[in-house]
Amino acid sequence: MERVNEAATFAARKGFEAGVFSQPSIHKLAYAEIRSRFGLSAQMAVRAIGKAVECFARDKTVCPVFKPHGAITYDERIFSFKGLDRVSLWALPEGRVIVPLVYGEYQKQRFDRIKGQADLVFRKGKFYLYCTVNLPASAPIQPGEFLGVDLGIANIASDSDGNRHSGSEIKSVRHRHRRLRTKLQKKQTRAAKRRLKQLAGSERRFATHVNHCISKQIVAEAKRSGRGIAVEELMGIRERVKAGRKQRAVLHSWAFSQLRLFLAYKAALAGVTLAAVDPRNTSRTCAACGHCAKENRKTQDQFRCCACNHEAHADINAAVNIGRAACKPAALGELCKMSHGSVKSRRL
Ligand SMILES: [Zn+2]
C-alpha cells in the first residue's frame, strides 16, 4: 500500500510537470521508472498511475500527494477470492499472498456477485476490502398509490403515513463533537488537527449509517404496501435561486443527496417505482382541502389551514401532498431519472 501510494505520487508529479494527465501519456513517462524504483508488478504499476489519473480527472490544477495509507485499487489480475474465507492479493515483497478474511451475513449472501475491482482500505489498524457487486433490479410495479416522502433538515425524512425519521441521533453526535471541536481548533497542533479529521470522519460514517437505515425502512414499507415512493424533484439552478430557505439548505447538504441516492438504488433493487414531483407549494398547500397559502405554514413545524383549520405537522402535510402529486398523470410522466436501471452496483 505504501509503495503504491508513493508510486502514485511519483506518477502524478511526472504527469503534472509535463502537463499531461491521461493514463497512456503518464504511462509513457513513468511506467518503467515505477517498475524499477518501487518494485511494483506490471499491473500494480498501472494501478498506481491510474490513481494519479483519477485524481487529475477531478482537478488538474494541483499535483496530488497521496497519503501512505490511502486506499488502493485491486482488479481481477491482482486479486482473487480463494474460496469463501481467503483472498489472494498481490503484495510486496514476494508477490501473491493469501489473506484470510471475515465478513458479515449481508456480504456472504452477495458473495457470488462480486465484480471487477476492489479497494483495499486501511482504517484504525485494520484492512478492509471494499467490493462492488452487481445486483439485478426487480421489475418495477406500476403503482396506483405513492408513499410521499418529504426530505428535510430538522426531520431527515417524513412520510405520508405520518412517520417522522428525525435526525436527532445525528444531531446529538454533532452536538457532542462541537465543544470538542472548538477546543481542538484553538490548539493548532498537529495532533489536534488529526483528531479533528477523525471527528469529521466518524460523523460522516454515522450519518451514512442513519441514511441506510431510513431509506431501508421507507423502501420496505412501500414494497410491503404495494406503493411507489414520491420525493421532491431537485430543482435546476435558476429555480434554486428563488428557492425557499429549506430547499437551499437542503440542496447544500451532502447527507441529503446521499439519502436520495440510497432511496433510489434501494427502490430500484426492490422493484419499487420512484417518482419525483414538482416541489413548489408542497409545504404551503393543505392536504385536506387543497387551499394553498403562505399563512398555512405557521412555523417550521406547524401547519394549520386558514380555510378548513386542518392541523398537521408541516413535514407530514407536505409528504401527503408529495405522495398525491405523484399520482397525477403529469407527475408520472416525469418519473425520476435516477430510478430504474441506472443504479445497479453498490459497495459492500
Ligand atoms: Zn384546508
Residue 224: pLDDT band by 50, 70, 90 thresholds?
very high
Q: Give CA–CA dist 146/322, Å, rounded.
A: 9
- What's the CA-to-centroid distance between 88 and ligand 1, angstroms? 64
164-203 confidence digits (pLDDT tens): 887 777 777 777 788 888 888 888 888 888 888 888 888 8
Q: What are the angstrom distances between the C-alpha of 108 and each of 33, 111, 234?
A: 41, 5, 36
Determine phi and psi for 88, rounding to 5 degrees.
-100, 120
* CB 36 within 8 Å of CB 76: no
Query: Given a cut of 60, is residue 335 above it in pLDDT?
Result: no
**What is the predicted pLDDT for the residue at 247?**
55
Question: What is the mean pLDDT of the segment spanning 121-134?
Answer: 88
Give distance in angstroms: CA of 334 to centre of ligand 1: 27
Are residues 261 and 267 in contact, defined by beta-carbon separation less than 8 angstroms?
Answer: no
237 has a pLDDT exceeding 50: no
Q: Give the three cell numbers for residue 5.
A: 501510494
Q: Where are the extended beta strands (E) located within the chain?
A: 72-74, 79-81, 86-91, 95-100, 114-123, 126-134, 146-151, 155-159, 164-166, 228-232, 274-277, 302-304, 311-313, 345-347
Distance 149 CA to ligand 1 centre (A): 20
DSSP sequence for 106-138:
HHHHTGGGEEEEEEEEEETTEEEEEEEEE-PPP
What's the gap in Å between 295 CA and the centre of ligand 1?
12
pLDDT in tens, 272-315: 999 988 888 888 999 999 999 989 988 888 999 999 999 999 99
pLDDT grade, residue 141 (50/70/90)? low
Q: How far is the CA of 282 from the centre of ligand 1 (A)?
A: 13
Question: Ligand 1 centroid to 188 CA: how many Å?
Answer: 55
- What is the 296 CA–ligand 1 centroid distance (Å)? 8
Q: Which three cell numbers stand for residue 183?
A: 477546543
151/308 Cα distance (integer angstroms): 26
* Cα–ligand 1 centroid distance for 283 (angstroms): 12
Contact 214, 156 (CB under 8 A): yes
User: Higher model confidence: residue 175 or residue 18?
Assistant: 18
- Cα of 301 vs centre of ligand 1, distance in Å, is 16
Q: Of 113 and 70, which is predicted with more confidence?
A: 70
Residue 339 in grid coordinates: 430510478
How does residue 249 score in pLDDT terms, banded at 50, 70 and 90?
Answer: low
Instruction: Tell how far the Cα of 281 is from the centroid of ligand 1, in angstroms.
Output: 14
Q: Across 49-53, 154-158, 203-207, which has the greatest mean pLDDT?
A: 49-53
Of residues 334 and 292, which shows the higher confidence score? 292
How far does residue 278's CA lie from ligand 1's centre (Å)?
20
pTM assigned to the model:
0.67
Task: Please state which of the ranges 4-18, 53-67, 121-135, 311-325 shows the lowest mean pLDDT.
Answer: 121-135
- Position 332 pLDDT exceeds 60: no
- Which residue from 324, 170, 172 is spatially nearest to 258, judged by alpha carbons? 170
The closest alpha carbon to 287, from 256, 260, 309, belongs to 309
Query: Residue 100, preceding bond cis, omega within 30 degrees?
Result: no
How far away, in angstroms, is 316 Cα from ligand 1 center? 14
Query: Residue 30 has what pLDDT?
Result: 95
Residue 236 has pLDDT above 80, yes or no: no
pLDDT band at residue 151 under the 50/70/90 scheme: confident
Q: How close is the Cα of 280 to the center of ligand 1, in Å?
A: 17
Task: Please say whether the dihedral angle defined by the alpha carbons of residues 220, 225, 228 and 234, taken in this order, is positive or negative.
Answer: negative
What's the 311 CA to ligand 1 centre distance in angstroms?
8
List the one residue out of 91, 90, 71, 50 whose CA is nearest residue 131: 71
pLDDT value, residue 310: 93
- pLDDT for position 57: 92
- Res 16 pLDDT > 80: yes
Name the burial class of residue 132, with classes exposed (0-12), middle (13-18) and buried (19+) by CB atoms within 10 angstroms of its CB.
middle
Distance 227 CA to ligand 1 centre (A): 25
Rounded distance from Cα 64 to ligand 1 centre (Å): 57
Report the separation in Å between the CA atom of 168 and the middle of ligand 1, taken as the mean of its atom positions.
Answer: 30
Could you tell me the pLDDT band of residue 105, with boundaries at 50, 70 and 90?
confident
Q: What are phi and psi of 73, to 5 degrees?
A: -100, 135
Does the pLDDT value for residue 22 go beyond 80?
yes
310 CA to centre of ligand 1 in angstroms: 5
Chain-centre distance of CA 211, in angstroms? 9
The alpha carbon of 289 and the centre of ligand 1 are apart by a number of angstroms equal to: 4
Are the beta carbons of 165 and 153 closer than 8 angstroms? no
> Of 98-107, 243-252, 270-279, 287-296, which gets the smallest average pLDDT?
243-252
According to the model, what pLDDT value does residue 342 have? 35
Average pLDDT of 150-177? 81
pLDDT of residue 36: 94
Quick one: pLDDT band at residue 250, thresholds 50, 70, 90? Answer: low
Say how many Å lie between the CA of residue 339 and the centre of ligand 1.
33
- Please state, for a pLDDT cut of 90, what percent of the chain lies above it: 47
Grade residue 252 by pLDDT with cuts at 50, 70 and 90.
low
CA of 19 to the centre of ligand 1 (A): 63
Strand order in the sheet with 126-134: 72-74, 114-123, 126-134, 345-347
